[in-house]
Amino acid sequence: MSKYLLGRDFAFPEYLPRFPRKYDFDVLKLWANVEVDFDNAAIKGSVRYKIRAKRDLATIALDAVELEVLRASTQYSYDGETLSLELKLRAGEEGEVEVAYMAKPRKGLYFVKPDRGHPYRVPMVWTQGEAEDNRYWLPLPDSPNIKFPFSLAITVRKPYVAVSNGVLQERRDLGDAVTYVWEMRHPMSPYLIAFAAGDFEILRERCGDVELEYYLPRGRAGLARHTFYHTCDIMKFFSEYLGVPYPYERYAQIVVQEFIYGGMENATATILTDWTLHDKHAHCPYDEFPCANEDFTSDPLVAHEMAHQWFGDLVTAKDWSHIAINESFATFIEALWTERSKGREEYLYEIYSNLKTYLNEYSSRYARPIVVNLYALPEEMFDRHSYEKGSVVLHMVRSILGDGAFRAGLKLFLTKYQYKNADIEDLRKSLEEASGADLEWLWRQFFYSAGHPVIKAVWNKNNGLRLVLEQAQGDDSYPLYTLPLEIDLVYETRRERRTINFNEKRVEIHLEPGIKYVCIDPEFKLLKVVDVNYPVEVLGTMLRDENLYCRIQAVEGLRKNGSRKAVEYLRGALRDNFWGVVAEAARALGHIGTREAVEALIEAYKDVKSPRARRAIVEALGTARRVEAAEFLDRILHDSSESYYVRYEAAKSLGKIKWAFAEHSLKRALSYGGHMDIITRGAIEGLAELGTEEALAIVLRYASEDQPTWIRMTAVQALAKFGPRREVIEVVTRSLRDESYRIRAAAVTAALELLDPRLLPQLQETAEKDVDGRIRRMAREVIEKIRRAQERGAEYQRLREEVERLKDEYRKLLDRLSRLEK
């Protein structure tokens, strides 16, 4: 089979196609009761199901992993994973079954407790059902393609509160305990069943007819204003844009500690990481709140999870291979909020950033079709292809159909499949019905095929001025794309737009005298990579284009050029009116890394108002690794009026430069903290870049179990910078067995950088037995890379050293050339 249909390096040899599960029954209602035992990290529960048979039934099977079944209302058998219950029904008949059980779940249900090493923790318990983890605390048919209403009663000791999906029906006072009874009246997929309980403060407001609730860990309610400021505005905008009002009576955002994701869109009861809570200085370091120049904002997370209330909850993917229905849409609609709240350029830059995020996974890990049923674990589908690449494809669909037809198609889709399941074909048919367009060509190329188009654009002066466009994608991509490609030809006195049906390997466009430059896809409508090879003067002129994407293309071309003239043009781009162009220009200058490039970055810094652009400048100075920037970075690091995140980048960059006083400076910064201790973490990363013995001792100390999770995570990952030393291997090996998902993920990332064969036994165990599918997948990829590195052996190491040496020589050569040019 062609590579583009399966992709590259994603499916392992034993993978087989997976299809949606079939059920011989409908669930009419679930009643569940759970009693939370905080002291023993356990629950005692019962479930009652009302069932209607689709055909003659003898038994029903429920997913129930590692539970202790106490009793059942009928004969049953249980193998530790599947609970089979006798229920003899004729087709169309209804019946009920009831099961009582106990559980100490390893996943799906998580307990958080304060202890001597972590006194900041607030007692709480929370669930995480996606993809198929609710079966560890609740017997249920655990697949996305079955939906049913449910009631969940949660009993907790006082003074704790319990929150779940739907609306609160009853609060029963039991003396020392209390039972909260929550009712979800609409049919929902099982992975969306959720609850959290613990010591929460609760804030409430109304958004039209919808009640908004905010559950925050005790003592942190004061941070809600900066975190959830736009919640109602986002809800109103999504309701307006999609043409379908928010579909439930209530929306709660529940902030928990030690969460394993950023957020989870449980219908009406989103659970969020407490990492999103932030103060005014994190949000607006240079202005009053609300501000024009934001630094850290929770809007993307809030918007993403709320978008799921329509795409994922109201309409749910039929199975995990179609998770684009959930995740591509939530990522794309999140960007629509950016467009509404901050403008068109911010939206396009977010889509462009999503493209780059996908490209990083494509180049460093694998390529796969967005929609593919060849996988082993559902969690494997929750990657940058499903999220970011899918969002860019949806942006492309919107751009081609036009906003009006696109919105009409979404409304039709949501209305037709509300409270049901759908797949990507159902989406295509709804969009086609609303727009009258044929979209099969787009679906086949971008949803069902791996990879992406690569367009090389060459400015050719031989035999008359011509622009040569060539499709140059690899063999893991669609062989020859059909693209409705717009091109702007910009002359001294006019601008001409052409649309070509680009379905050939090579196209030549003859250019008339007076041409200044040509911009490919100026409004950034298509998913593709553009590789421009223009003369430096042409790129410099293109930097002044009215379209954001044209300016970004010019920046990328100048980055590859690297000459003194390119540096001068990029210096000018640091004054662009949009912070994203400034950030891209800064990174390009950091990549070039000459003395003049560093001077340009330092000079521009004081005039740049956006903290995000400042971050990019400081990051670029670290990429350049020139000692001339060290004192400048040192001042930023110790300036308490600066952005937390700019200071974080300054700490990392100081370490990369290896300045004589860097260790002393970074040790001072270890106490600075910041939002989620971000400056402290930057100091840890900077010390790891230095690689000294004292730095190793410090990083090892911060990798110990008595540190906050976010600091430990940074330290464990940073240890890889010290190389495969005995102390490093021991900590990484131990961390691969840690209780915290985030620590295990950091350890796998460190193992990827170390590529040390001594880690293979623990990585193998992780790949086979870890409770989290994402960790198992990552561990297996690292195992494959270690084995390939072993095959290459010393030759591979020599090649890496040679590449680094050539980079340094290249920078020195550019310095000499720039002096000669002067």
Domains of the chain are: 25-198 (2.60.40.1730), 318-447 (1.10.390.10), 627-690 (no CATH), 707-822 (1.25.10.10)
Q: How far apart, in whole angstroms, are the C-alpha atoms of residue 530 and residue 525?
A: 12
Beta strands 124-127 and 167-173, pairing class: unpaired
The side-by-side arrangement of strands in the sheet containing 466-471 is 506-510, 466-471, 454-460, 529-533
Q: What is the pLDDT of residue 793?
A: 75
Strand 161-164 vs strand 195-198: parallel, antiparallel, or unpaired?
A: antiparallel
The reported pLDDT for the residue numbered 1 is 58
| pLDDT at residue 803 is higher than 70 | no
Which whole number is the average pLDDT over 460-486?
91
pLDDT score recorded for residue 298: 98
Return mean pLDDT, the chain.
95
Task: Give the DSSP letter of residue 247.
Answer: -
The three-class DSSP label of residue 107 is coil
pLDDT-derived band at 811 (thresholds 50, 70, 90) equals low
What was the pLDDT predicted at 807? 55
The secondary structure of 412-455 as a DSSP string is HHHHHTTTEEE-HHHHHHHHHHHH----HHHIIIIISS-S--EE
What was the pLDDT predicted at 413?
98
Query: Would you list the DSSP string of 318-340?
Result: SSGGGGGGTHHHHHHHHHHHHHH
What are the beta bridge partners of residue 217? 200
**Beta strands in 237-385, from DSSP E residues, in sequence order:** 250-256, 263-264, 269-273, 315-317
| % pLDDT > 90, the chain | 94
Distance (Å, rounded) from C-alpha 57 to C-alpha 74? 14
pTM reported for the whole predicted model: 0.95
Q: How many CB atoms lie within 10 A of CB 28?
A: 14
Q: Given this model, what pLDDT does residue 117 score?
A: 86
Residue 13 is which amino acid?
P
pLDDT at position 817: 46
For position 799, what pLDDT does the model report? 58
pLDDT tens, position by position, 594-619: 999 999 999 999 999 999 999 999 99
Return the closest-CA partner of residue 198 out of 212, 175, 180, 217.
217
Q: Return the pLDDT at 822.
A: 40
pLDDT one-digit tens code per residue, 665-716 = 999 999 999 999 999 999 999 999 999 999 999 999 999 999 999 999 999 9
pLDDT at 178 over 90: yes
What's the pLDDT tens digit per position in 711-764?
999 999 999 999 999 999 999 999 999 999 999 999 999 999 999 999 999 999
Report whether the peptide linkage leading into residue 378 is cis, meaning its omega lies within 30 degrees of zero.
no
pLDDT at residue 465 is higher than 90? no
Report phi then psi at 82, rounded to 5.
Answer: -125, 130
pLDDT at 821: 44
pLDDT of residue 795: 60
Those residues whose C-beta lies under 8 Å from the C-beta of residue 442, and which sit 6 or more positions away, are 393, 396, 397, 400
pLDDT at 820 over 50: no
Is a pLDDT exceeding 70 seen at residue 355?
yes
Q: What is the 3-state secondary structure (H, E, C) of 701-750?
A: HHCCCCCCHHHHHHHHHHHHHHCCCHHHHHHHHHHCCCCCHHHHHHHHHH
| Radius of gyration of the CA atoms of the chain, in A | 28
DSSP H/E element including 457: strand 454-460
Residue 808 scores a pLDDT above 70: no
| Portion of the chain with pLDDT greater than 70, in percent | 96
Going by C-beta distance under 8 Å and a sequence separation of 6 or more, which residues neighbour residue 578? 345, 349, 548
Q: Report the helix count and the strand count for the chain, using DSSP H and E.
A: 27, 28
Q: For the residues 67-86, what does the mean pLDDT come to? A: 98
Q: What pLDDT is recorded for position 98? A: 98
Cβ atoms of 331 and 390 within 8 Å: the answer is yes
Write out the DSSP string of 162-191: EEESSEEEEEEE-SSEEEEEEEEEEEE-GG
Residue 577 has pLDDT above 90, yes or no: yes
Taking CA 296 as the corner, what is the angle to CA 648 and CA 212, rounded to the nearest 5 degrees?
145
Res 819: pLDDT: 45
